[in-house]
Structure 1
Amino acid sequence: MSASYERSTLAPALSDHARRLRGAPVPRGGHPLPDSARTPRPRGPGPRHSEACARVKDVLRSLLDTPRADPEAALVATGVRDRTVLRAAATLDHPDEPAARALGRLLVRTGTTLVGVAAGIGLLSVLGEPEDVPYLRDLGMLDGLDSAAVEALAPLDPQAAATVGLAHGARETGLRALADALVSGRTSDLRALVVGVRAESPRDVGPGRARWIAEATRLPALLRAHPRDPELLAQAVLLLTRMTSRRDYAIALLRYGDARDLYEAITARVAGEAPATGLDRRARLLSLALDLHSGASHLLDWPPGRREQVLGALLAAVGEPTEPDTEPDTEADADPRTRRRAAWIRATAPRLRAITAPAEPCPVSRLRIEVAVADPGDPDAVETRFLVDGRPFVPWAFGPGPGDVPERTLDTGALRAGDEPREVRLAEAYCSEGCCGALYVTVRREGRYVVWGDWSRPGAPRGLPDLPVLRFDADAYDTEVARAEQDRGWSWPARDTARLIARGLRERPELLARWDLRQGWTGTDFGDPDTTVITYDDLPPTAGGAPDVQPRQYVWLLPDDGTPPEQRAAAALRRFAEEDPRRYPEPAR
């Protein structure tokens, strides 16, 4: 009986299998593979990832140095899984690029197994050319090959890459209809398909999927083709706003090659018109302006002065905060979410105008620290943003997540430069630090300078830029940190209450220690920003205790009742002093 890797020569090529399915709606997860495509792996524990990659690279180099009739068999014989083979091939260093490209094409076009085709896609992800697009697009519709095909297609044909991504990930009915139309090529009414996507929920259309929709439909051109279509404009604004969100493992906006063009197409529609009406449109235009000022949109390749012009046009379209749909007397009967959004517009628009168009021209400071609060209608992180020489630092230095919360960076005095060097976390990954890392800097004072250096990004993905040592005039630095710490104009009552309670517990640790508890996280509820959240934990067991007993966490919720934050915080701290805090809430775990 022949070995398993030899049987593949009797099986159909995956590219032929995919071509026969071209244009058919892609089921969730992709078109099924032939049974012969998945090769059995050897029993027992496999090699470490680094060892497996090295093994595959050795095989690929030998195939390039000494071509064989059946290169796929040698790859299958390694027993390495297809994902590892893909990574190894994508990072292969070989001087003969034409030979590597030819091997990649051979494997992509004739390969019969996931392992062989994955190796070919990995090679073409670096060396591919336009003629490879049809093969990669077809293979991307198969189960297990979508992410590899998207990565290989992205630099060659972003529209094809986006179509593959949407075909596999669409769940919502409108998005599914758009994906099926793109796959089949039946896009005669592309405008209706785009408008039909329900993108209000990030669960259906997150930042990455919003980018795919824009890429697959060539959204800027589509918007210009329908210059008087308010529904399409609203959808374009929503999709661009979603791309600015940091609720993803990478910054979708900076991966979207036409991001600046979409900004321009939207600005051309709103510039010169009467200010927008309706909370949705006003809030989203303000979100775009805020990101242009201190978010990732600032980093796009803007011609000199153009970013400022676009930002000004967006703020003009938002209008003044006295417009009727944000007046308090029209909100009396509105739901809490509507009231929060109206209040956010009233607070954020004037602050942004004052920062971006000061009454007196002033030079750009070396460091500016700002707190950005996202639209409450599309909840996102409250983050501390750092502008160095006028440019946002965290989106450039750390893609997986936003700047840290101000309660950590500002309220604790972490950024102050003292006599001893201090390591400070500036940003955390969208998922968590333990998953995709964080950005740390060591702050130290050197004579008349404050220095940011000894950068650390534990757990962060590869490919991030090298970070420079930053030097700030010490007096200017101290002044800016003090200003940022004292600026509470971005906050709201429930957040102020949380800050005062957290500060009180830091200053009086005995309030919790007397109950054998320790301070946890204090902030506002993500889904209900008007509720203060206080968490605290049982102290871990002592050396003589039971080591397998996990400390319990408790969560105390304080809805905003209209009482001033100072009074609410004082009342909470008094209760900690007088009553066992375990009695207030239910344990979180």
Structure 2
Amino acid sequence: MRGILQAAAPGFAEDLDRLCEEMRGIQYHWGLRFEHADGDLGLDPETIRIIALHLLRQGVTILEIMTGLELLTTVVSDEDIELIREIALLQGDYGYAATKMLRTCSNPGHSLHWLAVRSSIPDQTTYTDALAALSAEDIEPLLAELNAADRVELIRMMSHRSHTPTWMQGGKQFAVPLALAAKRPELFGPGLSGLTGIVQVRDDLLYGHSAFLEIEQGLRASIARDLLAALQAPERRALVSAALALDPHDSEAIWLHQYIERADDGDGDFPPGLAIRIAVPAPATGQPPRTHLVVDGVPLVTNLFDLGVPDSPSRLLHRKQGLRARAEVHEVWLAEADCTEGCCGVLAAQIRRDEASGQVLWEVKATRSRSEPTPFTFNADEYDAEVARAEEDRSWEWPALQAARLLNQRLRDEPALLDRWDCRNGGVGSWNSDRSLLQLHLWHPEPPNPDRPWLQFKYPVKVLDSITVDNGAIAARVEEILERLRTTDPKLAGQVCGGSQAHAEALGYPWPPPR
């Protein structure tokens, strides 16, 4: 790569065209990257700019574009901003590479915001992460040019992230736009996407980054009530009803309908002590349900942990002892880092009951932090009642998720059902991104073992999303699945999703797996 690039100097047209032809002729170039860390090209900055810009303007392969971006990194100037942004819209690795350069150019907030509002939610994260990392000084020119609707949209985009930007903490520049948008919901935009934006901003105000804006508690509750009132207005209910009439199984419309019907207009006035609130993010985000722990009106996880989001209720409330307090101390993970626990740790609570004082005591600490644990004290009777109420609430489960829970339990109770097919239960789930699908994962003949070949199978089952969760119908659907598993080898109906060619050949299965 170094030789090919050096041959393009001093940048004559025929040399640059030959460079592109040679790079296009490299086979199996996936993952091949040129980085300046690999060695100095021995070229002057102006020649490097000529080569980089030619690759970016004339390149048609990933290798050409990524190499052009890498070369431009050291010689980028403000005149390149428009080109870099246009390339970033191709998404993928381009967006990440472009972001690094845009942060070194003038007014980085403007460029990153320009990309964020033009990207889909999965790709948006690249730019919102970079926006969140900007200093207050770098973000100020952007905030100065944003109107009220744009500022509220910025809050919505930030709501998907774990870390609260420093420029939002205690910020006054968002309070007025939030209050205005709550009274003028048309600022969120038209259609169902506008309603989704209202929900996301309301939940962020209650449980997320916006809870730490410089907004008096009473005004925070008032804005939350106004946002809910906007959602419940007849014309917005009609939007949701029209979408459901077109498709009764439209998960986004179902999610909106359920939020509108179930949300409590008193949620902003949290009681003293511990309040547990379960929120399901929009299906389009693909994010699982979250268990928000609000202590004296302050969302605990957002306040103490900026590396991950609150854990799901299935793990926090229903795994082992959950949040129930006994005399013996037990540890509960309240939130895990977005990477993994082994990398950046978790926010953990040591929970115990003090019978003598009638209190439940928590000591909360991020495991990779050097700071001292944060203590919390709760009235034991009130604490028990709130935990019991949250445990009994299953309204956050969609049909396929409830079916997955029931099926998982039945398979644990009846291990011989899968043993007969030389399979082991690898877990049953349903994901918010595809709420009409239940996935059973199976290990054959057992979970990964370095001494034996193994494969993983996925066994998908349709369980359509719906507004109402019919417990009887779901139980019957689970029985159908169990009966099928009793009579038919699930490996024949499933698809290989893990293992290797050597293992597949040893176990008598084709590779690559048929689709």
What amino acid is aligned across from residue 428 of structure 1 in structure 2? Answer: E
Contact conserved, 2:283 with 2:434, CA < 8 A, in 1? no
Q: Which moved more, 1:298-307 or 1:512-521?
A: 512-521
The Cα shift of 1:145 comes to 12
The letter for the 2-side match of 1:221 is A
CA distance, structure 1, for counterparts of residue 322 and residue 484 of structure 2? 28
- Once the two structures are superposed, residues 248-307 of structure 1 have per-residue CA deviations (whole angstroms, 9 ceiling, x without a partner) of xx51x3333478445335325424336664111111121111111122322334334232
Give the aligned residue type for 2:155: L
Partners in 2 of 1:35 and 1:198 — Cα distance?
A: 36
The CA deviation at 1:406 is 1.5
Unpaired segments ≥5 residues, structure 2: 1-32, 43-70, 499-515
> Does the CA-based 8 Å contact 2:225-2:265 persist in structure 1?
no
Q: Deviations over 1:57-98 (max 9, x none)?
A: xxxxxxxxxxxxxxxxxxxxxxxxxxxxxxxxxxxxxxxxxx
8 Å CA contact 1:505, 1:511 repeated in 2: yes
Check conservation: 1:424, 1:441, Cα contact below 8 A. yes
Alignment of 1:335-484 (within 5 A): 339-356=250-267, 364-412=271-319, 413-418=321-326, 420-447=328-355, 448-453=358-363, 457-458=366-367, 460=368, 462=369, 465-484=371-390
CA contact (8 A) 2:351 2:361 kept: yes
Deviation at 1:510, TM superposition (A): 4.5
1:441–1:326 distance in 2 versus 1, CA, 3 Å: same
Provide, for residues 342-400 of structure 1, a one-character-per-residue CA deviation record: whole Å limited to 9, x for no partner. Answer: 22222123433344268xxxx71411222111112333232112112221111222221
Question: Counterparts of 1:406 and 1:578 in 2: how far apart (Å)?
Answer: 34
* Alpha-carbon distance in 1 for matches of 2:86, 2:315: 36
Name the SS for the 2:497 alignment partner: coil
Matches within 5 A, 1:107-118: none
Residue 123 (structure 2) aligns with? 203
**Cα displacement (A) at 1:221:** 2.5
Q: Distance in 2 between matches of 1:314 and 1:30?
A: 50
Structure 2: which amino acid aligns with 1:208? Answer: D
Q: Distance in 1 between matches of 2:74 and 2:279?
A: 39
Structure 1 contact 321–345 (Cα < 8 Å) conserved: no
Give, in angstroms, the shift of residue 586 of structure 1. Answer: 1.5
Aligned counterpart, 1:287 = 200
Match of 1:485 among 371, 391, 407: 391
What whole-Å deviation, never above 9, does each CA across 1:176-228 have from its counterpart, x for those lacking one? 999999977599xx79984995133331444313436895463443234xx7x
Letter in 1 for 2:146: L
User: Which residue is 2:12 aligned to?
Assistant: none
Gap change, CA 1:583 and 1:37, over 3 Å in 2:
closer
- Specify the SS of the correspondent of 2:194: helix
Between the aligned partners of 1:529 and 1:167, the Cα distance in structure 2 is: 37
Higher deviation after alignment, 369-378 or 320-329? 320-329
The CA RMSD measured in Å over matched residues stands at: 4.5
Instruction: Name the CA shift for 1:198/1:404 in 2 (closer, same or farther; >3 Å).
Output: same
Q: Which residue of 2 aligns with 1:240?
A: 155
Instruction: Give the SS at the match of 1:218.
Output: helix
Matched with 1:558 is 461
Indicate how the Cα distance of structure 1 residues 536 and 354 shifts in structure 2: closer, same or farther if over 3 A, else same. Answer: farther
Instruction: Report whether the alignment pairs 1:569 with 2:475.
Output: no
Tell me the equivalent position of 1:55: none
Q: Would you say the 8 A contact 2:221–2:266 is kept in 1? A: no
Partners of 2:457 and 2:496 within 8 A in 1: yes
Deviations 1:456-484 (A, max 9, x none): 644x4x46x53323333333222222211
**Is the Cα–Cα contact under 8 Å of residues 169 and 212 in structure 2 kept in the other structure?**
no
**Does the Cα contact within 8 Å between 1:421 and 1:443 map onto a contact in 2?**
yes
Query: Could you say which residue in structure 2 is the equivalent of 1:90?
Result: none
| 2:123 partner amino acid | R
- Identity, % of aligned positions: 27
Does the 8 Å CA contact 2:310/2:334 hold for their aligned counterparts?
A: yes
Find 1:222's aligned residue among 142, 145, 164: 145
Q: C-alpha separation between the residues in 2 aligned to 1:318 and 1:423?
A: 39
Asked if structure 1 preserves the Cα contact closer than 8 Å seen for 2:192 and 2:240, the reply is no
Instruction: Note the 1:188-199 alignment, pairs <5 A.
Output: 194=114, 197-199=117-119
In the alignment, is the contact (CA less than 8 A) between 1:32 and 1:143 conserved in 2?
Answer: no
Displacement after TM superposition at 1:240 (Å)? 2.0
For 2:165 and 2:160, how far apart are their aligned partners in 1?
11
Q: For 1:138-149, list aligned pairs within 5 A.
A: 143=73
Give 2:122's aligned amino acid: P
Q: 1:198 to 1:370 in 2, by over 3 A?
A: same
Cα distance 1:494–1:355, how it changes in 2: closer, same or farther (>3 A)? farther
Instruction: Choose from 292, 296, 318 the match for 2:209.
Output: 296
Gaps of 5+ in 1: 1-28, 39-140, 147-159, 228-232
Deviates most, 422-431 or 439-448 = 439-448
| Aligned residues of 1:347 and 1:490 also touching (Cα < 8 A) | no
With normalisation by structure 2, the TM-score equals: 0.66
1:409 aligned partner, one-letter code: L
More divergent stretch after superposition (397-406 vs 505-514): 505-514
Counterparts in 2 of 1:322 and 1:372: CA distance versus 1, 3 Å: same
Letter in 2 for 1:244: S
Distance 1:577 1:145, change over 3 A: farther
* Aligned partners of 1:299 and 1:392 also within 8 Å: no
Q: Secondary structure at the match of 2:426?
A: strand
Whether the aligned pair in 2 keeps the contact of 1:30 and 1:143 (CA below 8 Å) is: no
Change (3 A) 1:586 1:259: farther
Aligned pair count reads 416
C-alpha distance in 1 between matches for 2:168 and 2:200: 20
For the 8 Å contact 2:174–2:213, the answer to whether it is kept is: no
Residue type at the aligned position of 1:211: A
Residue 172 (1) aligns with residue 89 (2): yes
After TM superposition, the structure 1 = structure 2 runs for residues 40-189 of structure 1, keeping only pairs within 5 Å, are 143=73, 171-172=88-89
1:325, distance to aligned residue in structure 2 (A): 5.0
1:411 match: secondary structure: coil
Corresponding residue SS for 1:439: strand
Contact 2:440 2:458 (C-alpha < 8 Å) held by counterparts: yes
What letter matches 2:389 in structure 1? R
Q: Using the TM superposition, name which of 416-425 and 386-395 deviates more.
A: 416-425
